[in-house]
Amino acid sequence: MIAVPLSHPPCGSITIPGIAPSWVWTEKLTAGAPFGPWITTADEIVDPHALGIKAWVGDELRQDSNTRHLVFDLWDQIVHLSHAMTR
């Protein structure tokens, strides 16, 4: 098990390689994905487990949810993505 200090990451941003269930791993992460332009600093996030999630494809809203509904919490996702992105 890897411990992730609550002070990390110092800021965050969201990148979505496509709309898929939150437990699906995709090879697209190594090829790039739509990103930004927002970077949110940690002091702007009151509760990372209560953030709104919205995704549009063109003008169509395809996802409207909240991080509290994700299969894995933020800390588990940071650990998983850290391993995948630093190989």
40-73: per-residue pLDDT in tens? 788 888 898 898 888 888 899 999 999 999 888 8
Say how far apart CA 60 and CA 86 lie, in whole Å.
Answer: 34
pTM for this predicted structure: 0.52
When pLDDT is averaged across residues 83-87 and rounded to a whole number, the result is 71
Say how far apart CA 84 and CA 44 lie, in whole Å.
Answer: 26
Structural element, H or E, at residue 54:
strand 52-57
1-22: per-residue pLDDT in tens? 344 455 555 445 555 555 555 5
Residue 51 makes CB contacts below 8 A (sequence gap 6+) with 45, 66, 67
| The two structure tokens encoding residue 4 | 């992730």
Q: Which of 58, 57, 77, 74 is nearest to 66 (CA)?
A: 74
**pLDDT at res. 60:** 94
User: Domains of the chain: which residue ranges?
Assistant: 11-85
